[in-house]
């Protein structure tokens, strides 16, 4: 199974602050996804990213969120002004071309105080 | 809209067989996934079904009936380490996003 890492593993921030979560895939991944999971709740899709462009996004992914692949390697999720309700696990997932299986990274636990 | 239903909790005995059901009503369908998630960890891919029938992979099997909007995950020879949540997820027609059910928390007892 191809590996991906996420940094940081845990981020604590104050309400209103900006956070950047990072996903570092291996180089031959083209398809990336961000999901979140609020404690005790279901996994929710945020956004998919293909060929350096957003291909789909959910209603959760509003103007406070953005994604980019700034250096062709790291894949980042930015939350501009965090709210208490943004506290959750954020998972990066990746998919190889030619398959539909999505593999999840270990996640970043975001705590907004 | 998307609606995916799974039982919230199940309990089974070590060495036994357990079947976890998932029903879905979705606006599109292009495959169903099962993931395992241990507490505090990321979901781990188990299986993918896009055609009707049974897919077997070691102790785990997954079944799909598209006409009934129904799938199940079958776990054989249960081990204590199988205690986890099992997530059913549907891939829709529009793209590759996955819509997840709430998960079934399986407790395996000695």
Q: What is the pLDDT of residue B8?
A: 97
List CB contacts (< 8 A) between B95 and chain A. 48, 55-56
Residues 35-64 of chain B whose Cβ lies under 8 A from any Cβ of chain A: 35, 41-45, 48, 50
Contact indicator for B104, B11 with CB cutoff of 8 Å: no
Cα-Cα-Cα-Cα torsion A43, B107, B84, B73, nearest 10 degrees, comes to -80
pLDDT band for position A80 (cuts 50, 70, 90): very high
> What angle (nearest 5°) sits at the alpha carbon of residue A109, between those of residues A107 and A112?
150
| B96–A95 CB contact, under 8 Å | yes
Tell me the nearest-neighbour CA distance from A80 into chain B, angstroms: 23
Cα-Cα-Cα-Cα torsion A46, A51, B42, B20, nearest 10 degrees, comes to 80
Strands (E), A58-99: 65-68, 75-79, 88-95
**Is the confidence at residue B96, as pLDDT, over 80?**
no
**From CA B5, how far away is CA A106, in angstroms rounded?**
25
Tell me the nearest-neighbour CA distance from B23 into chain A, angstroms: 16
């Amino acid at each position: 199974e191809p590996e991906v890492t996420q940094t940081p593993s845990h981020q604590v921030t104050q309400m209103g602050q900006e956070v950047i979560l990072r996903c570092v895939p291996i180089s031959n991944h083209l398809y990336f996804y961000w999901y979140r999971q609020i404690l005790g709740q279901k996994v929710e899709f945020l956004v998919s990213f293909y060929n350096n462009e957003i291909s789909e996004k959910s209603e959760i992914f509003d103007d406070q969120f953005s994604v980019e692949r700034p250096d062709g390697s790291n894949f980042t999720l930015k939350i501009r002004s965090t709210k208490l309700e943004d506290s959750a696990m954020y998972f990066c997932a990746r998919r190889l071309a030619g398959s539909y299986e999505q593999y999840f990274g270990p996640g970043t636990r975001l705590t907004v105080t | 809209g998307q609606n995916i239903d799974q039982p919230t909790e199940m309990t089974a005995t070590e060495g036994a067989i357990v079947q976890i059901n998932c029903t879905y009503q979705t606006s599109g369908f292009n495959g169903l996934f099962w993931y395992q998630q241990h507490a505090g960890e990321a979901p781990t891919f188990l299986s993918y079904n896009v055609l009707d029938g049974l897919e077997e992979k070691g102790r785990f099997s997954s079944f799909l009936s598209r006409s009934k909007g129904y799938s199940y995950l079958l776990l054989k020879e249960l081990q204590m380490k199988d205690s986890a949540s099992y997530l059913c997820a549907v891939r829709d027609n529009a793209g590759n996003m996955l819509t997840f059910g709430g998960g079934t928390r399986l407790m395996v007892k000695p």
